[in-house]
Amino acid sequence: MAAPALEISGLRAWYGESHILHDVSMVVQPGEVVTLLGRNGSGRTTTLRAIMGLTGARTGSIRINGVEALDLPTHRIAHLGVGYCPEERGIFSSLSTEENLMLPPPVSATDSGMSVEEVYALFPNLKERRTSQGTRLSGGEQQMLAVARILRTGARLLLLDEISEGLAPVIVQALGRMIEALRARGYTIVMVEQNFRFAAPLADRFYVMEHGQIVETFAASELAAKTPVLHELLGV
């Protein structure tokens, strides 16, 4: 059997002296869509950043496709086929959509990444906006561009931080279709979400964080049974 796309065990992480993650463990199989839920400040972004080697000290284990990544620098972690989409998106505002898409270097030796034409087939509205400057794009278009840019690198494990945040419902629906399209293409996705209604129909499995720890984990089939617990943990 193939190694898990991501296997975290006993992960602890710090920012300077602040101990943020306490014993985080999670396993994501290739092709799974997993959502990391939790209240503000529970440690979800820190978990994604720790996977990428962007926190301070870390201990424990983070295996990506079976390779231990804990002691690797961020660029080597990216080369294991991981793409991180931070909350702030990082679109270059003075460049056009297409120029933004031309920036990423391939990170994976085995997978050369989506061509710009493939990106446009998957995101027709980015094609319409190909010459528009980054600043002229709507929040939803910027979010799609941020994800599309990762697909250009050839990453197969996508770490997406609150992609639905602050976007209108119709845009959030379009992002949901994007996640479904990526799932159909076999991408492995770890989504941090506050918007439970967005995540609920998309994810195969859920993890819930509180105070830097995983406090609940369940499959999509258990969602109805877990709803009362989620109300309590998330206040949704």
Q: Which residues bind ligand ATP (CB under 6 A)?
A: 15, 18, 20, 38, 40-46
Partner whose binding site includes residue 18, from ligand ATP, Mg ion, none (CB under 5 to 8 Å by kind): ligand ATP
Shorter beta-carbon distance to Mg ion: residue 41 or 106: 41
Partner whose binding site includes residue 115, from Mg ion, ligand ATP, none (CB under 5 to 8 Å by kind): none
Q: Shortest distance, CB of residue 46 to ligand ATP, whole angstroms?
A: 3
DSSP assignment of the chain, as one string?
Answer: -PPPSEEEEEEEEEETTEEEEEEEEEEE-TT-EEEEEE-TTSSHHHHHHHHTT-SS-EEEEEEETTEE-TTS-HHHHHTTTEEEE-TT----TTSBHHHHHH-PPP--SS-----HHHHHHH-HHHHHTTTSBGGGS-HHHHHHHHHHHHHHHT-SEEEEE-TTTT--HHHHHHHHHHHHHHHHTT-EEEEE-S-HHHHTTT-SEEEEEETTEEEEEEEGGGHHHHHHHHHHHH--
Q: Shortest distance, CB of residue 163 to Mg ion, whole angstroms?
A: 12
Shorter beta-carbon distance to Mg ion: residue 107 or 190: 190
Partner whose binding site includes residue 38, from ligand ATP, Mg ion, none (CB under 5 to 8 Å by kind): ligand ATP
| Residue pair 194/165 in contact by the 8 Å Cβ criterion | yes
Q: Shortest distance, CB of residue 43 to ligand ATP, whole angstroms?
A: 4
Residue listed under structure tokens 């994604």 = 48
Shorter beta-carbon distance to ligand ATP: residue 15 or 215: 15
Q: Shortest distance, CB of residue 20 to Mg ion, whole angstroms?
A: 11
Binding Mg ion (rule: CB under 5 A), the pick from 42, 45, 97, 153 is 45
Partner whose binding site includes residue 140, from Mg ion, ligand ATP, none (CB under 5 to 8 Å by kind): none
Shorter beta-carbon distance to ligand ATP: residue 5 or 20: 20
Residue in the shown chain whose Cβ atom is closest to Mg ion: 45
